[in-house]
Amino acid sequence: MEHGDLVAGILNRIDDAADVLWSNGDEASAKVMDDAQKVIEAAQARIAALEAELAGARQALRVSNQPHWFYYGDDCSSERCRDSIYECIDEDFEYENGEPGGDHVLLISGARPVPDIWVALHYYTEAEKDARDSDDEYTFTEHSSKEDAEAYIRALKAAQP
């Protein structure tokens, strides 16, 4: 039994029970049944809205996971970046192989944007390099927001003597 059929069955039974209670003069119980029916109907509407929202989110995820840039072969250098598979064939495969005709299996690598990364960058002072016994010039941490990166820098400065 599907979700909608189950809920419809429950609502019908509540409606039938409320009718019996009203006809027997048990108004308080009948009112409770009517209220329960309204709550279930509201929940059913909310579930339908959430299912629609989920379907939209799934579609948006499918779109966001599609490649935005294409590369012939596994050379993903900026010089080989193309806007479509057609460009990979026309500008790379055919350029390198002439117009070979026949059947071919090609590797077309895809890439898509990634979320922005906020970097908290700290350049070591000479004293810090000496204390660390390292010539590393800097260190960094990655954060999902500017505020998080700034908070990390503040904490780093607060911990310094």
- Give the dihedral of Cα atoms 4, 5, 6, 10; nearest 10 deg: 100
Q: How confident is the model at residue 3, as a pLDDT?
A: 64
Tokens of 35: 């209220």
| pLDDT over threshold 70, residue 157 | yes
* Beta strand spans in 31-155 (E): 69-72, 108-111, 118-123, 138-143
The 8-class DSSP code of residue 79 comes to G
Q: Which long-range contacts (CB under 8 A, 24 or more apart) does 9-12 make?
A: 10/40, 11/37, 11/40, 11/41
* Beta strand spans in 20-151 (E): 69-72, 108-111, 118-123, 138-143
Q: How confident is the model at residue 16, as a pLDDT?
A: 76
pLDDT in tens, 117-132: 999 998 988 888 888 8
pLDDT in tens, 23-36: 777 777 767 777 77
**How many Å is the Cα radius of gyration of the chain?**
32
Q: How confident is the model at residue 85, as a pLDDT?
A: 92
Query: Distance from first CA to last CA of the chain, Å, rounded?
Result: 68
| pLDDT over threshold 60, residue 4 | yes
What residue ranges do the domains of the chain occupy?
Answer: 3-64, 69-111, 118-159
The one-letter amino acid code at 22 reads W
Q: How confident is the model at residue 112, as a pLDDT?
A: 85
Rounded to an integer, the average pLDDT of 7-32 is 74
| pLDDT over threshold 80, residue 138 | yes
pTM: 0.44
pLDDT in tens, 85-120: 999 999 999 888 887 888 889 999 988 888 889 999
Q: How confident is the model at residue 31, as a pLDDT?
A: 73
Number of separate helices (H) and strands (E) present in the chain? 6, 4
pLDDT in tens, 34-78: 777 788 888 888 988 999 999 999 998 888 777 789 999 988 899
